[in-house]
Amino acid sequence: MTPLERAVRERIAAEGPITVEAFMHACNAYYYATRDPLGARGDFTTAPEISQMFGEMVGAALADVWKRAGAPADAIYAELGPGRGTLASDALRMMRSAGFAGEVHLVETSPVLRSKQKDALPDAHWHDSVDDLPARPLLLVANEFFDALPIRQHVGAIERRVTVAGGGLAFDRDGEIIETSPASELAVTAIATCLAARGGAAIIVDYGHERSAPGETLQAVRGHGFAPVLASPGEQDLTAHVDFEMIGNAAHAAGAAVTGVMAQGEWLIRLGIEARAQALMRGNPERADEVQAALKRLTGRQAMGQLFKVIAFHGPDWPPPAGFA
């Protein structure tokens, strides 16, 4: 039994069954606080860890929209759940060369990942919550952040819970499941409220669906594969597909302008990732196969290109970032 499973069982014994939301919150807080989950020896790999091209395209998009908004000097780079800091490093390299000299603000709760981020970005400022970001024009990105935030599950009108049954953890009911994520809505509302008041643009990348729909998407990821959701609490990443319709609606309700949802592959191609790949291959012929493979992984329909989606929101007085329909 994992240390967290022991704690969860004690909590259920004391309080009764706990909501899926409380379970997911406890599992991921423990999971991320105790390890760096990324990379070949970890549990999963993300777009910025596949290739520098991903962060470069994000940085190019943020630098471009910042310039078109008049290059305000008080704008800051902000990122939610920056992992190893790879995306920020690649994006900021592009943004610095475009003249952006603003501060770097990172929202990260894991002490292990904060310390990795400090190696990559020694001058950054760290925050525990989106609510703590300074009220300044934001150039914000979040990649694979929202899928890790807790979801609620309902079967009909009843909220689904985790209980102890037959000696192990079990869901207290089955049936057609509706998922919502109040934590995600709160985070989007905080960002969009700041964008509406101070300007800026936010780019959100994650796997998920363009339209809200019933169905269970909660999953556990471990060792680059799927695992049973209730197995090994705290030792595997719990994620859910992101509901981009909900994200767009929450941003709009808070006063931000919202773009359409794009597939990651098409968005990266519109931003010029193919030309960037050609340049990298010309500059490093010995790495051409690796660059080609990364391009395919990031943009291919059978790989990340279609499942992963991108949406942006921005201040009403700011132009939308490039690449959106």
**Do 208 and 309 contact (CB within 8 A), yes or no?**
yes
> Is 261 one of the binding residues for ligand SAH (CB under 6 A)?
no
Query: Based on CB atoms, which residue is closest to ligand SAH, 87 or 261?
Result: 87
> Is 108 one of the binding residues for ligand SAH (CB under 6 A)?
yes
**Do 318 and 200 contact (CB within 8 A), yes or no?**
yes
Count of chain residues binding ligand SAH (CB under 6 A)? 20
* Backbone φ/ψ region at 200: left (φ over 0), alpha (ψ -120 to 50), beta: left
**Which span (131-139, 141-149, 220-228, 288-296) binds ligand SAH, by CB under 6 A?**
141-149
Element (H, E) at 213: none
Query: Based on CB atoms, which residue is closest to ligand SAH, 22 or 281?
Result: 22
The residue assigned the tokens 């800026």 is: 200
Which residue's Cβ lies closest to ligand SAH? 81
Q: Which of 61, 65, 91, 107 binds ligand SAH (CB under 6 A)?
A: 107
Query: How far apart, in whole angstroms, are the C-alpha atoms of residue 99 and residue 151?
Result: 39
Which amino acid makes up residue 55?
A: G
The residue assigned the tokens 């109040």 is: 182
Distance of CA 163 to CAs 11, 68, 157, Å? 10, 53, 18
Nearest alpha carbon to residue 35 among 239, 207, 240, 237: 237
> Is 110 one of the binding residues for ligand SAH (CB under 6 A)?
yes
> Is 28 one of the binding residues for ligand SAH (CB under 6 A)?
yes
Query: How far apart, in whole angstroms, are the C-alpha atoms of residue 264 and residue 311?
Result: 9
**Which span (142-150, 153-161, 291-299, 310-318) binds ligand SAH, by CB under 6 A?**
142-150
The residue assigned the tokens 């101070």 is: 198
> Is 43 one of the binding residues for ligand SAH (CB under 6 A)?
no
Helices H / strands E in the chain, number of each: 11, 18
> Is 113 one of the binding residues for ligand SAH (CB under 6 A)?
yes
Query: Based on CB atoms, which residue is closest to ligand SAH, 49 or 64?
Result: 49
The vertex-77 CA angle with 74 and 80, nearest 5°, equals 140
Would you give the binding string for ligand SAH spanning residues 148-167, x where CB under 6 A is met? xx------------------
Query: How far apart, in whole angstroms, are the C-alpha atoms of residue 308 and residue 263?
Result: 6
Query: How far apart, in whole angstroms, are the C-alpha atoms of residue 29 and residue 110?
Result: 8
> Is 234 one of the binding residues for ligand SAH (CB under 6 A)?
no
CB of 210 to ligand SAH, least distance (A): 21
Query: Based on CB atoms, which residue is closest to ligand SAH, 42 or 255?
Result: 42
Query: Based on CB atoms, which residue is closest to ligand SAH, 109 or 278?
Result: 109
The residue assigned the tokens 């610095």 is: 96
Q: Are strands 76-80 and 242-243 parallel, antiparallel or unpaired?
A: unpaired
> Is 193 one of the binding residues for ligand SAH (CB under 6 A)?
no
CB of 71 to ligand SAH, least distance (A): 26
At what angle are helices 20-33 and 3-15 packed, to 10 degrees?
A: 150
Query: Based on CB atoms, which residue is closest to ligand SAH, 69 or 139?
Result: 139
Would you give the binding string for ligand SAH spanning residues 45-84, x where CB under 6 A is met? -x-xx-------------------------------xxx-
Q: Which of 4, 20, 38, 310 binds ligand SAH (CB under 6 A)?
A: 38
| Residues in touch with ligand SAH (CB under 6 A) | 28, 32, 38, 46, 48-49, 81-83, 87, 107-110, 113, 143-145, 148-149
